[in-house]
């Protein structure tokens, strides 16, 4: 049973990784340690080496609180812009 849960979790993290690869900056937040596990998984993969990934511990939030938290977090940070290839 434990191996099945690990396999399902690894698949879930792979799916999240496929989404995260489309961004330059990512914020992982929440009340559990899953964000740290995902961060460690992503850092082992060189495809995520150029993506800025940050972790913030937060309490449990409603959807509106999550939206406000993310909006505030990214509105108070300088934008990361990839330079064009010349």
- pLDDT tens for each residue of 11-42: 999 999 999 999 999 999 999 999 999 999 99
β strands within the chain, DSSP E: 25-30, 52-57
Residue 82 within a domain? no
CA distance 30 to 57: 6
Residue 10 within a domain? yes
Instruction: Summarize the confidence of residues 58-73 as an average pLDDT.
Output: 94
77 has a pLDDT exceeding 80: no
CA distance 68 to 71: 5
46 has a pLDDT exceeding 70: yes
Q: Which DSSP category does 77 fall into? A: S
Residue 20 within a domain? yes
- What residue numbers bound the domain in which 12 lies? 2-75
Residue 40 structure tokens: 């460690």
**Mean pLDDT computed over every residue of the chain:** 87
84 has a pLDDT exceeding 50: no
């Amino acid at each position: 049973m434990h191996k099945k849960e690990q396999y399902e979790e690894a698949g879930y993290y792979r799916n999240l990784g496929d989404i995260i690869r489309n961004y330059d900056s990512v914020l992982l937040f929440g009340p559990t340690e899953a964000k740290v596990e995902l961060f460690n998984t992503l850092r082992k993969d060189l495809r995520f080496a150029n993506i800025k990934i940050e972790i913030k511990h937060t309490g449990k939030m409603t959807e509106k609180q999550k939206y406000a938290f993310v909006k505030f977090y990214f509105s108070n940070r300088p934008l990361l812009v990839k330079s064009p290839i010349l």
